[in-house]
Structure 1
Amino acid sequence: MSQSAGSLRILAGLLEARTGQQLATSRVWRIETSLRPLVRERGFASIDQLASEVLTGRQPDLVDRVIDALLNNETFFFRDHGVFQLVDSQALEMLRAARQAKQRLRIWCAGCSTGQEAYSLAMMIADDAARWAGWTVDIVATDISGGAIARAQAGIYSQFEIQRGLPIRMMVNWFDQDGETWAAKRDLKRKVQFRRHNVLDHPPVPGRFDLILCRNVLLYFPAPVRTRAFDRLHSAIEPDGVLMLGAGETVLGQTDKFISERELRGLYRPGGVARARAGKAA
C-alpha cells in the first residue's frame, strides 16, 4: 500500500498533537499496519490519500478513527498477575487500614483501553466480599480512545480475549456466553464507570483517588509530556495514595512528585508521604 514519508509524518504528528504520544522511528511501521483496514473501509486508494483527506478537516470522525487505530490498545485480564497480587496484598490492605473510618475507596484506571484491567480489579475486590463488607468502592476507568471506551462499556469480549488471563471461575461467574463472545454481567458493569479522558487533562471526577493505575501509558510520551502527566497524576491522588505504573515505566529521573517505597516494590507514593515515612524509619 502506497505511503510517502510526508504522509507518515502527518499522521504521526496528528497522533502526538491529539494525545501527546510520540511514535518512535522504530515504530513508524505501525502506521501502515494499523490504518490499512480503515483505508479499505473508507475506499481510499492509499495511506497518502487518507492523510490528504485528514488534512482537509472535512471529516472529523475520520480523524477520531485514525487516532483510535494508531493507539496501542494492548491489554488483557489480570495483566502481570504478580502486580495485581501486590496491589491486593499490600496497596489495598494499606489503604483499607487508612480508610477504615470512612470505608470508601476511590480508584482510577487511566489508559484503561478496552476495560479488562478495570474489570479485573472490580472482580478481585468483589470476590473478597468479607474483606470489603460495608465498603463503597468507586472505580473510574478512562481512555483517550472513544472506540476503546465504547468496547469497555459494552463489556463484550471474544473467546480469545476472555481466556487471556481470566480464570475459568471468574469467567463463569461474571460473564455470559453468547455464541463466540462473552458479555460482562450487569452487576460487573455497574462496578466501573468508563469515561473518555486524556491523562494530560484535568483529572476526572471526583478528582482525588486513593489508588491510580496508569500502566503502559507514559511509555509513549516524550520526556516533557511525561513530566506533565506525572503532574496531573499527582494532582489526582490522595496524599497517602498509591500509584501503579507499567513494568517498563518508572518515576526515577522522571519526576520528584512520586517516590518508590521498599515495601511496595513497583508501586509509588506521593513524594511528601514517602519522604516522611523514610524519615520516621531512620
Structure 2
Amino acid sequence: MMGGGNASESAYRVLMGVLESRTGQTLSPNRIWRIEMSLKPVMQRHGIEDLDALVAALVTSTSRQLLDDTVDAMLNNETFFYREHSVFDDIAVKALDHVRAANAATRRLTIWHCGVSTGQEAYSMAMLLAEQGEKWAGWTAQIVGTDVSYQAISRARVGLYTQFEIQRGLPVQRMVRWFDQTEAGWLAKADLRRRIDFTVQNMLVDRPPLTAPADLIFCRNLLLYFAKPMREKAFARLRAMAAPQSFLVLGAGETVLGQTDQFVASPRLRGLYEPADQQVRRVAA
C-alpha cells in the first residue's frame, strides 16, 4: 500500500501520474502519504467523497477546474522572502555588478524566477533592484515569475500576504516601505507589483515570456521533485533561456554535479552556477 486512508493503490498511482504528466514533478515516498490530506479541501469543494471517487471524477469529468485544483493541491508551494540572505547579498553586489558590466551596451537586465510559487522571491528581487535605483537608471529591467500552479500565480499577482508570510525573511523597514497593512493582510504596493510579470507556465513545455535571454535565473528547490530524465530536460531548458554570461541560482541543498553538463559552479560566486559552454570559452580566452 502506498498511502494511508482507504484509498486504493491504483488511486495513488493515477494521481502521481497526473502530477508528473502535468508538471514533470514526482512525489517522493515521504510526500505520498500527504496526498489525501492535501486533497481533502479539493474533495470537499467539489463534493467528492474519497480519493477513489476523485480519480473517477478526473477520468470522466470535462472540468478543467477539478484537474487544476487537484494538481495545485499536490504541489509544494513553500517559499519566503529573501530566502538564504547570504545568497541575496552576493547577488545584490557581485552578480548584478558582473551582469551590469556585461550588458553595458544594451542596458537591459532580465531575471527569471522559475517555480516562483506565491511570489515572495520575485518581490525580493524587485525590492532589491528598486533600492539600487541610481545604479539601474536608464536600464530596462524585466522580472518574470513563472509557475505551473494557477492558484500560486494568482496569489503572487495580488501580492497579499499573511502576518506569518510577511515576517518570514522580510526586514521590518522593507515591510513598511513596500507593503500596506490591510484587513486582509499585507498588500504589496502597486509600484512593486508592476515591476514583475507573473505567468502560469510549465517550464518543461512552455517558453517564459522573456524579452531577452535571462541574466539571472532562480530555480530553487524545484528540480528536487523531478525524475532524472525530466531534470536533464529542465537544465537544458534553463540553459536555452540563459544569457551567455549569466548566473543560475539553485536551492541550498541542490547542485549541478552529476545532474547536468549544461552548468558549472561559478568560480567567482560561491553557491551560484554559470553556463558550462561560456565557462569553457572564458577559460580558453
TM-score over 0.5 for the pair: yes
Counterpart pick for 1:140 among 119, 141, 144: 144
Alignment deviations for residues 24-73 of structure 1 (CA, whole Å, 9 cap, x no partner): 22320121121011112222221221121112133221010000110110
* Counterparts of 2:247 and 2:266, CA distance in 1: 10
* Counterparts of 1:274 and 1:220, CA distance in 2: 27
* Counterparts of 1:2 and 1:171, CA distance in 2: 45
Residues 1:169 and 2:173 aligned together = yes
Residues 1:110 and 2:117 aligned together = no
Per-residue deviation at 1:207?
A: 5.4
Alignment deviations for residues 190-244 of structure 1 (CA, whole Å, 9 cap, x no partner): 1000111111124213251111111111110000100000111111011111111
Question: Structure 2: which amino acid aligns with 1:6?
Answer: S
Residues 1:247 and 2:223 aligned together = no
Greater CA deviation, 121-130 or 269-278? 269-278
Residues 1:228 and 2:223 aligned together = no
- In the alignment, which residue of structure 2 is the partner of 1:259? 264
RMSD (Å) for aligned C-alpha atoms: 1.3
State, as a whole percentage, how many aligned pairs show the same letter.
50
The 1:98/1:207 distance shift into structure 2, 3 A limit, reads: closer
Which structure 1 residue ranges, 4+ long, deviate > 6 Å from structure 2? none
- In the alignment, which residue of structure 1 is the partner of 2:22? 18
- In the alignment, which residue of structure 1 is the partner of 2:198? 194
- In the alignment, which residue of structure 2 is the partner of 1:101? 105
- In the alignment, which residue of structure 2 is the partner of 1:72? 76
* Counterparts of 2:132 and 2:205, CA distance in 1: 34
Residues 1:55 and 2:98 aligned together = no
- In the alignment, which residue of structure 2 is the partner of 1:5? 9
- In the alignment, which residue of structure 2 is the partner of 1:213? 218
Q: State the number of aligned residues.
A: 280
In structure 1, stretches of 5+ residues that fail to align are none
Alignment of 1:139-158 (within 5 A): 139-158=143-162
Per-residue deviation at 1:180?
A: 4.5
* Counterparts of 1:81 and 1:57, CA distance in 2: 45
Residues 1:184 and 2:188 aligned together = yes
* Counterparts of 1:97 and 1:209, CA distance in 2: 15
* Counterparts of 1:146 and 1:207, CA distance in 2: 25
CA contact (8 A) 2:110 2:212 kept: no
* Counterparts of 1:158 and 1:248, CA distance in 2: 27
Question: Structure 2: which amino acid aligns with 1:115?
Answer: G
CA contact (8 A) 1:21 1:222 kept: yes
Question: Structure 2: which amino acid aligns with 1:16?
Answer: E
CA contact (8 A) 1:260 1:274 kept: no
CA contact (8 A) 1:202 1:232 kept: no
Counterpart pick for 2:90 among 71, 81, 86: 86
* Counterparts of 2:82 and 2:266, CA distance in 1: 23
Per-residue deviation at 1:88?
A: 1.3
Alignment deviations for residues 228-280 of structure 1 (CA, whole Å, 9 cap, x no partner): 00111111011111111111221111111111122211111111111233345
- In the alignment, which residue of structure 2 is the partner of 1:44? 48
CA contact (8 A) 1:159 1:180 kept: no
* Counterparts of 2:94 and 2:36, CA distance in 1: 43
